[in-house]
């Protein structure tokens, strides 16, 4: 996780001004959608349905020239509105084909169209700008030895391109990236075109499903793309260094993906996207990331022992269902991503690498009290500390979230739990959902009101008793960093 979680809790004079204006008919919209943890992210005045982003790459220490075209629907009468944007120079803005006035204020690009945009009408915003990979180290572009990749979770997509940078505003994406012709570009979704003219090649990629901005991925580098076929003919493609000395070892590891998709499909049903694969970067980021259809992995993690790496691969794969296809309604619901990804990581490690699931869970349970004390309950996590790169990604959303799922499975039985998981990813596919939606569906599927039970696990300050294990105690004595075979209970992945 790369993140620069500056304090955003206090209202600046600017925010007060904008919020005041929003209350007036035909006024501006507030600076964000009011996320409890990241209040400035997103914009309530419109709904984006498409991003079309053009990047011109000149080397990983140079700003990229970029054009971001956003198609949206106005939800209010807009005399002015914001996009989230930082780390680039804006050269011009057009709204519905006409030049618009703009100004930048902290991480907001404030746009005033020549004519107000009525509620319910289409809004096309075209921003010509640069995108600077050297401007800061708080997320967005990652500089690799030979190019760039992206890591935008949680709040850094707008440090790459102007956007409505909140997971509740999902949209389809197209990327057109021009780079010197000896480089390879891979992005979310499927490749649509690759056109070489003179010294450069322009690559076009398009997603077939809506995606949260935090899950965008564009890889530019001296890369080789390995193609494989997964279950039901699913096209798989992995991206590794063209000159990687450990190509054979990487290929062997990446060949596990197809079987892992098959395993996940047995748990929760069909893989939700048009393709999948892993992007190997020869960089130490300290995390792996579930960028949609193309998960970001540190090369050294892929080259660790199979028992260490494979469960982490399943963690990022599970996110394609939990987080990417079904995206949290707000950042407070992020345990829905990490709790589920950790749960399937544990289950896979136990099934494939001879670990006892109950031992893993018991170890995690023992440390849960300390984890909750440090990070808050999983569905009401504490805000990120200022300048804390790990931000909200503390063990509570992983470990306490996965423990809640284990407790739920014990309480309602494995068969009902499986029905719930399948119903969840089917009902909310390509959408957003909240913790309350999960509790309601669990109650519906199990035929009993689980509000009290799940509220205790998800919103409780204290660790609830574990069903079926009344002898278990959460006294905080377990090492929270114990790492049995890739099942680190604190690793952020």
What Rg, from alpha-carbon coordinates, does the chain have?
22
Please state, in angstroms and rounded to a whole number, the distance separating the CA atoms of residues 254 and 460: 39
| Torsion angles phi and psi, residue 191, rounded to 5 | -75, 130
The terminus-to-terminus CA distance of the chain in angstroms comes to 8
Q: How far is the CB of 315 from Zn ion (least distance, A)?
A: 6
Q: How far is the CB of 312 from Zn ion (least distance, A)?
A: 9
493 binds Zn ion (CB under 5 A): yes
Beta-carbon contacts of residue 327 (< 8 Å; ≥ 6 apart): 167, 168, 170, 212, 431, 432, 433
Q: How far is the CB of 1 from Zn ion (least distance, A)?
A: 9
Q: How far is the CB of 320 from Zn ion (least distance, A)?
A: 11
C-beta closer to Zn ion: residue 292 or 338? 338
- Cβ-count burial 320-359 (b if 16+ within 10 Å, e if not): bbbbbbbbbbbbbbbbbbbbbbbbbbbbbbbebbebeeee
C-beta closer to Zn ion: residue 160 or 341? 341
314 binds Zn ion (CB under 5 A): no
Interface pattern 319-348 for Zn ion (x via CB under 5 A): -------------------x--x-------
Q: Which two tokens stand for residue 215?
A: 């899950």
C-beta closer to Zn ion: residue 298 or 338? 338
Give the β-pairing of 122-131 and 64-74: antiparallel
234 binds Zn ion (CB under 5 A): no
Q: How far is the CB of 340 from Zn ion (least distance, A)?
A: 9
Q: How far is the CB of 336 from Zn ion (least distance, A)?
A: 11
163 binds Zn ion (CB under 5 A): no
C-beta closer to Zn ion: residue 223 or 309? 309
Q: Which two tokens stand for residue 107?
A: 């991480």
CA neighbor of 309 nearest in space, from 267, 261, 272, 260: 260
Q: How far is the CB of 48 from Zn ion (least distance, A)?
A: 25
C-beta closer to Zn ion: residue 76 or 290? 290
Q: What angle do CA 215, 220, 225 make, to 5 degrees?
A: 90
Name the residue whose CB lies closest to Zn ion.
Answer: 341
Residue 128 parent element (H or E):
strand 122-131
Report the 3 state secondary structure along 179-242: EECCCEEEECCEEEEEEEECCEEEEEEECCCCECHHHCCEEEECEEEEEEECHHHCEEEEEEEC
**Which residues between 450 and 479 bind Zn ion (CB under 5 A)?**
none
C-beta closer to Zn ion: residue 68 or 488? 488
C-beta closer to Zn ion: residue 480 or 493? 493
Q: How far is the CB of 401 from Zn ion (least distance, A)?
A: 10
C-beta closer to Zn ion: residue 326 or 466? 326
Please state, in angstroms and rounded to a whole number, the distance separating the CA atoms of residues 216 and 189: 10
489 binds Zn ion (CB under 5 A): no
Residues that bind Zn ion (CB under 5 A): 338, 341, 493
């Amino acid at each position: 996780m790369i993140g620069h979680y500056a304090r955003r809790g206090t209202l600046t004079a600017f925010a007060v001004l904008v919020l005041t204006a929003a209350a007036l008919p035909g006024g501006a919209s507030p600076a964000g959608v009011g996320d409890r943890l990241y209040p400035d992210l997103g914009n309530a005045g419109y709904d984006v349905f498409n991003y079309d982003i053009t990047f011109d790459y000149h080397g990983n220490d140079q700003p990229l020239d970029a054009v971001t075209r956003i198609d949206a629907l106005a939800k209010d009468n807009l005399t002015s509105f914001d996009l989230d944007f930082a780390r680039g120079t804006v050269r011009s803005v057009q709204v519905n084909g006409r030049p618009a006035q703009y100004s930048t204020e902290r991480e907001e690009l404030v746009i005033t169209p020549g004519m107000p945009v009525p509620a319910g009408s289409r809004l096309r915003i075209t921003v010509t700008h640069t995108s600077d990979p050297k401007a800061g180290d708080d997320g967005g572009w990652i500089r690799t030895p030979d190019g760039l990749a992206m890591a935008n979770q949680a709040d850094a997509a707008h440090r790459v391109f102007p956007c409505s940078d909140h997971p509740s505003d999902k949209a389809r994406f197209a990327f057109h990236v021009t780079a010197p012709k000896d480089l390879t570009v891979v992005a979310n979704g499927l490749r649509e075109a690759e056109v070489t003219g003179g010294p450069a090649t322009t690559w076009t990629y398009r997603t077939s499903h809506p995606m949260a901005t935090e899950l965008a991925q564009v890889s530019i580098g001296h890369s080789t793309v390995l193609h494989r076929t997964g279950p039901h003919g699913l096209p798989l493609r992995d991206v590794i260094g063209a000159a990687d000395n450990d190509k054979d070892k990487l290929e062997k590891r990446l060949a596990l993906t197809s079987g892992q998709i098959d395993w996940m499909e047995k748990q929760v049903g069909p893989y939700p996207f048009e393709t999948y694969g892993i992007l190997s970067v020869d960089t130490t980021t300290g995390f792996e990331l579930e960028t949609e259809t193309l998960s970001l992995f540190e090369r050294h993690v892929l080259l660790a022992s199979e028992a260490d790496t494979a469960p982490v691969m399943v963690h990022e794969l599970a996110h394609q269902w939990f987080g990417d296809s079904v995206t949290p309604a707000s950042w407070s619901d992020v345990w829905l991503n990490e709790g589920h990804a950790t749960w399937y990581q544990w289950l896979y490690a136990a099934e494939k690498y001879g670990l006892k699931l109950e031992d893993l869970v018991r170890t995690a349970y023992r440390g849960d009290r300390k984890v909750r004390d440090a990070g808050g309950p999983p569905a009401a996590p504490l805000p990120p500390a200022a300048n804390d790169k790990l931000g909200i990604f503390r063990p509570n959303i992983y470990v306490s979230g996965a423990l809640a799922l284990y407790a739920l499975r014990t309480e309602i039985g494995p068969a009902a739990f499986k029905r719930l998981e399948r119903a969840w990813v089917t009902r909310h596919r390509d959408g957003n959902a909240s913790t309350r939606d999960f509790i309601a569906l669990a109650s519906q599927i199990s035929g009993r009101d689980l509000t009290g039970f799940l509220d205790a696990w998800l919103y409780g300050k204290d660790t609830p008793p574990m069903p079926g294990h009344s002898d278990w105690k959460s006294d905080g004595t377990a090492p929270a960093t114990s790492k049995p075979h890739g099942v680190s209970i604190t690793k952020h992945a």
